[in-house]
């Protein structure tokens, strides 16, 4: 009996969860994609998209998602996690390979495209395609459903988000947005939902998709959404406005948070093109490469099968937490970008006859960036490790978010300060990181691990 080519790997050898991701990555390493993109900056083009122009438009129906699978049946879930009870800071070999590949993408493709993508409020298609090619959208999708994971990959997702954000946070959000919906379907979808939507994500042209949880409200509390889901005979009617939704204009599928008549919160799958659904530009201080939009739901009717996960609030709360965890990882990656940038700068920049780094007031700012950044990273990893091991991580995610929001912003602030006036102009990326890091603690949804 002959199996498909396994490159000399014995059939007794099974791939680890991320092994599949690494196999996918290998395709990238072999292709000339990086060479094609690495040196080519996105040409300045007048991108006239909804995200820049600000008009409101009905969402255009994307692909038709053919109903499949059984509604009442539970979906396929990532496998049960292992926990060895050993304190360890070492990523698995597979996670490390994954990080290496994503780091290369971040360095060679994402960073060079970042300034233009920020200005254009859009991430170039080639960059998004490169992300798709290495499997970003299906990192959290079980292998049995055509994805890359055998078990819960919260840690891998965290490491990937961090590595990608080191290139650019806005592009990272744009590239990871479809994966947030695919991961949500994997974690909470019914057989029908998975069979209907996931094949599109695991195919050659994964759709844009977005997890919409933020709302334009002062003192917004994600656990008190203003968007409502009113029960009707054969489904629900959704009303409300979601803000800061990544790539909403292109998205073919949304996961939207709303409050039920019962007072509990829940998630709903809403296809683009649904009557009453419209998007408008929501360009913001930062994260601009993610083409942020407002999504307006005005009497949008969905059927019963659109409810994603539990209707008692538990799925919704878990989703909010896992999204915050992803934002923490993005903050860590961006903070690292700041540290890596200011370190050589303060050693080269001279004032009063010597490098400014030789002054304690400057050097101590850099030291504090390094200390707080590592604290942010450890809190994020601890939370991700607990999620991956199937443990309760409510406290750990709450604390990680608190620290990443405050210290992340402080790092962005000091990054600009260390460059002085040069930090204020767009010749250097620190002003973009400053704008991007303000998103931590503000953004809910959009990304998910």
The yes or no reply on residue 367 touching another protein (CB under 8 A) is yes
Q: Which of residues 396-415 bind another protein (CB under 8 A)?
A: 396-400, 402-403, 406
Q: Which residues, 6+ apart, have CB-to-CB distance to 352 below 8 Å?
A: none
Task: Pull the structure tokens for residue 171.
Answer: 């592009």
Binding string, residues 91-130; x marks residues near another protein by CB under 8 A? xx--x-----------------------------------
Of 4, 88, 445, nearest in space to 246 by CA = 445
In angstroms, what is the minimal distance from the CB of 385 to another protein?
Answer: 5
Member of 270, 287, 320, 338 binding another protein (CB under 8 A): 320
The yes or no reply on residue 378 touching another protein (CB under 8 A) is yes
The yes or no reply on residue 21 touching another protein (CB under 8 A) is no
Paired with 239 in beta bridges are 228, 298
Burial of 350 (0-12, 13-18, 19+ CB in 10 A): exposed
Rounded distance between C-alpha atoms, residue 404 and residue 36, angstroms: 35
The yes or no reply on residue 166 touching another protein (CB under 8 A) is no
Rounded distance between C-alpha atoms, residue 182 and residue 151, angstroms: 15
Q: Which of residues 246-305 bind another protein (CB under 8 A)?
A: none
Stretch that binds another protein, among 48-56, 117-125, 233-241, 394-402 (CB under 8 A): 394-402
Rounded distance between C-alpha atoms, residue 214 and residue 244, angstroms: 7
Binding string, residues 217-236; x marks residues near another protein by CB under 8 A? --x-x-x-------------
Binding string, residues 424-443; x marks residues near another protein by CB under 8 A? -----------------x--
Rounded distance between C-alpha atoms, residue 223 and residue 330, angstroms: 22
Q: Which residues, 6+ apart, have CB-to-CB distance to 412 below 8 Å?
A: 334, 335, 338, 430, 433, 434, 435, 436, 437, 438
Rounded distance between C-alpha atoms, residue 108 and residue 106, angstroms: 6
Stretch that binds another protein, among 132-140, 230-238, 303-311, 364-372 (CB under 8 A): 364-372
Stretch that binds another protein, among 7-15, 230-238, 254-262, 342-350 (CB under 8 A): 342-350
The backbone torsions φ and ψ at residue 230, rounded to the nearest 5 degrees and listed phi first, read -90, 130
Which residues lie near another protein (CB under 8 A)?
82-92, 95, 155, 219, 221, 223, 317, 320-321, 339, 343, 346-347, 355, 357-358, 360, 363-364, 366-368, 370-372, 374-376, 378-379, 381-382, 384-386, 389, 391, 394-400, 402-403, 406, 441
């Amino acid at each position: 009996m002959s199996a498909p080519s396994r490159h000399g790997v014995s059939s007794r050898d099974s791939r680890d969860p991320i092994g599949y991701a690494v196999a996918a990555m290998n395709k990238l390493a072999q292709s000339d994609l990086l060479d094609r993109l690495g040196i080519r900056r996105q040409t300045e083009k007048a991108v006239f998209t909804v995200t820049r122009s600000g008009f409101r438009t009905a969402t255009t129906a994307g692909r038709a998602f053919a109903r499949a699978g059984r509604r009442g049946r539970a979906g396929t879930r990532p496998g049960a996690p292992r926990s060895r009870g050993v304190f360890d800071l070492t990523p698995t070999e597979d996670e490390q390979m994954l990080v290496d590949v994503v780091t290369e993408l971040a360095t060679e493709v994402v960073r060079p495209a970042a300034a233009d993508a920020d200005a254009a409020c859009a991430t170039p298609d080639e960059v998004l395609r490169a992300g798709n090619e290495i499997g970003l959208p299906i990192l959290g999708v079980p292998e049995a459903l055509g994805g890359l994971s055998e078990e819960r990959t919260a840690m891998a997702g965290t490491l990937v988000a961090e590595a990608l954000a080191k290139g650019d946070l806005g592009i990272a959000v744009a590239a990871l947005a479809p994966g947030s919906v695919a991961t949500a379907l994997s974690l909470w979808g019914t057989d029908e939902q998975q069979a209907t939507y996931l094949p599109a994500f695991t195919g050659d042209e994964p759709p844009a998709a977005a997890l919409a949880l933020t709302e334009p409200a002062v003192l917004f509390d994600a656990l008190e959404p203003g968007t409502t889901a009113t029960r009707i005979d054969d489904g629900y009617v959704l009303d409300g406005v979601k803000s800061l939704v990544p790539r909403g204009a292109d998205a073919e599928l949304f996961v939207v948070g709303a409050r039920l008549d019962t007072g509990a919160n829940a998630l709903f799958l809403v296809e683009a093109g649904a009557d009453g659904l419209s998007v408008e530009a929501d360009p913001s201080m930062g994260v601009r490469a993610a083409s942020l939009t407002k999504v307006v739901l005005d009497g949008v009717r969905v059927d019963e099968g659109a409810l994603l996960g539990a209707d008692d609030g538990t799925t919704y709360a878990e989703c909010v937490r896992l999204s915050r965890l992803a934002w923490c990882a993005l903050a860590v990656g961006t903070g690292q970008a700041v540290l890596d940038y200011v370190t050589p700068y303060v050693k080269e920049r001279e004032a009063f006859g010597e490098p400014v780094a030789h002054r304690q007031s400057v050097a101590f700012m850099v030291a504090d960036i390094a200390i707080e950044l590592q604290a942010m990273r450890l809190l994020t990893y601890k939370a991700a490790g607990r999620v991956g091991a199937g443990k309760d991580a409510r406290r750990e995610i709450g604390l990680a978010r608190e620290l990443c929001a405050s210290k992340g912003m402080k790092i962005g602030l000091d990054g600009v300060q260390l460059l002085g006036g040069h930090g204020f102009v767009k010749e250097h990326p620190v002003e973009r990181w400053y704008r991007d890091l303000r998103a931590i603690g503000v953004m809910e949804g959009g990304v998910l691990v």
